[in-house]
Amino acid sequence: MIWLLLFLNLLLFQFEGFFAIIKVETEIGSFGGDRGQIDDEDHDYFADEMTIYDPNTEMMLDDMIITHQEFKRFFIEEDEIETKRNAITDENSYWPDKTVRYFMDREFYDVDKKIIREGIKMITDVSCIKFNELSKPPNDSGPYIHINSGNGCYSKVGADCKKCIMSLSITGCLRPGTVAHEFLHSLGFYHMQCSKGRDNFVDIIWSNMKNNAEKNFFELGTVSSLLNTTYDYDSILHYGPRFFSVNGAPTIIPKDGRYLSRIGQREFLSQGDIDRLNIRYKCYEN
């Protein structure tokens, strides 16, 4: 009889532990929607090479999908024009009527969609850009962003596409600032540390980089522009100091040492981000 009572008590303890785990997992899932979200201050959750794009015409540049022609044009070709750069100036890449249409895959839960909308609000609160959430992919020929949970955080740069792919992985990208970062790529902006003339503001430490990461630090050519604003250490599009580091040492060091701990933030759009966005889409002229 004693052995039977001990067995029943042990069985009850195991069941209580099991339901406690279920309760905790349910509460975590309903609270933040992180569901395994990576929280590493030294890097974003970048896309890997197993992603959705056409390798015959496109390539991955960190978290951006661009065509081979765009890579050659924006990062390789140089001319004598001295301008400040980090945004595409080709108006074919602008979103028509300053309106971004987007569709979120069914794989996103309501709590995930709420975070994505919070990232969008970071942009709409400071600009004239409008966002139109679609209930299904459109049948017309106009551009739209199809958001899925792929292998990392990445997006097509600009609106020069019919179905513009954006990945916001549920296991690493669901933070409002990361969402805003990717939507700024979709609006036509590249990373700040790739801006023309960046060597006046940061030192790039090539020897500390992982293999094949060098292309993510290439300096832009002459097609994109900072739109007459200054280099912006606080930009939400700036890398952090140890992005793509092979040894934990910095890959980017600001010449102004006060910014070493500030570059790479994903909490807010800087005033420079706001100005460039509004200048590009002529919001200040309204």
- Check the annotation: does 181 bind a ligand: yes
Q: Which amino acid is at 41?
A: E
* 68 annotated to bind ligand: no
Instruction: Kindly give the pairing relationship between strand 99-104 and strand 58-61.
Output: unpaired
Percent helix, strand, coil in the chain, to 5, is: 35, 15, 50
Nearest Cα neighbor of 101 from 188, 189, 162, 58 is 162
Cα–Cα distances (Å) from 242 to 31, 148, 231, 253, in that order, read 30, 28, 19, 9
**Ramachandran quadrant class, 82 (left: phi over 0; alpha: psi -120 to 50; beta: rest):** beta
185 is in an annotated binding site: yes
Q: Tell the residue number behind the tokens 């934990």, with chain if given.
A: 248
Selecting among 49, 91, 182, 214, the annotated active-site residue is: 182
Specify the DSSP element, H or E, that contains 181: helix 176-186
Residue keyed to tokens 């540049």: 61
- Yes or no: say if 161 and 78 are a contact pair by the CB < 8 Å rule: no
Catalytic-residue membership of 182: yes
C-alpha to C-alpha distances, 102 to 93, 144, 167, 280, nearest whole angstrom: 16, 5, 12, 20
Residue list for the binding site for Zn(2+): 181, 185, 191
Active-site residues: which are they? 182
